[in-house]
Amino acid sequence: MRRLALATLIVALVALPIALLPVRAAPAAADAAHFDYRLAAREVGPGVYVIEGANADFSLANGCNIINTGFIVTGAGVIVVNTGPTKLYGEQQRALIARTTDEPILRVVNLDLHPDYFFGNQAYADVPRLATPTTRAGMQRDGAAYEDNLYRLCGDWMRGTARLLPDTDAVPGVLHVGSHTIELRELRGHTPSDLVLIDRGSGVAFVGGLVFSRRIPTTPNAELAPWLASLQTLAGWKLRYLVPSHGDVGAGFAAIDGTRRYLDWLDRAFAGAAAQGLEMNEVLRLPMPAEFRRWGAADTEYIRNVADLYPRYEEAVLQRAR
């Protein structure tokens, strides 16, 4: 029987729902100045704004704000792209939009099923909230676990947050809204359904979790082969500006290539390790290329990559041996 080394135990804990782990201490008081995300909107195309989050892992220090969200002021109303990790974030995001434009909110688009894409939806209960049917089903399936996890990770930043799911199917195709033409395209790989929103006039594309910019990708719902195929598809589109949901904004197509290089390395490293019969604790000690060691969340996210994906490579080797 294999010996379960300390590092393997760490991986096993990471793989468990966070609801089973010790609760982190929350801030003692809900001080309004402390619980301020200090959100700022940056215009990256005519009427197209990005709100940047931290290039880091979830923490109390950043209020679990590690996502880049955005909104488009169309002339007829506002389209919101993702609503952040908490009810408070959604409220502060909506207040920021109101300070930027007096146009009404027309709809919200949640690009995938992960909690920081839709846990701010409570601030938009009065408008249509769109996601693909596959994403909506995943949110329904995993939403309760997401709540437990983020309450433990984010403490009082999550106060009052309860999942409010999208209520409308996002259908790939073209929308004409005000002076803007918006296109929705569906890919997959990071999750079973990865929606990409493109503002055609400006060439700005919100590419969701398909692209991580100088940030280690998250992989709890990942399938590497279709993800790599989706990156190849994205690289072939004529886009001017990419907004990844995580990591530095503005790196452009270099971020697509960086994500591809990381996933290629992960695939090769895990396949080689499984072929050699390495245990998880040994995989954790594999040397990571220097470029990736400098990326955001490198210390924590690679451990999750191992927990999420490496058992599949071990199983593939066992299947071939039978």
Say if 125 falls within a structural domain. yes
pLDDT at 32: 63
pLDDT at 10: 42
Q: Is 83 helix (H, G, I), strand (E, B) or coil?
A: coil
Say if 119 falls within a structural domain. yes
pLDDT at 322: 75
Say if 1 falls within a structural domain. no
Say if 194 falls within a structural domain. yes
Say if 79 falls within a structural domain. yes
Could you tell me the pTM of the whole model?
Answer: 0.90
pLDDT at 11: 40
Structural contact between residues 113 and 190, judged by C-beta atoms closer than 8 angstroms: no
pLDDT at 1: 32
CATH number for the domain that contains residue 302: 3.60.15.10
Q: Is 211 helix (H, G, I), strand (E, B) or coil?
A: strand
CA distance 17 to 14: 8
Look up the domain containing 289 and give its range.
6-321
Select from 97, 47, 104, 107 the least CA-distant residue to 74.
Answer: 47
Query: pLDDT 10s per residue in the chain (322 long)?
Result: 343 343 443 444 343 333 333 333 444 444 666 899 999 999 999 999 999 999 999 999 999 999 999 999 999 999 999 999 999 999 999 999 999 999 999 999 999 999 999 999 999 999 999 999 999 999 999 999 999 999 999 999 999 999 999 999 999 999 999 999 999 999 999 999 999 999 999 999 999 999 999 999 999 999 999 999 999 999 999 899 999 999 999 888 999 999 999 999 999 999 999 999 999 999 999 999 999 999 999 999 999 999 999 999 999 998 887 7
Number of domains in the chain: 1
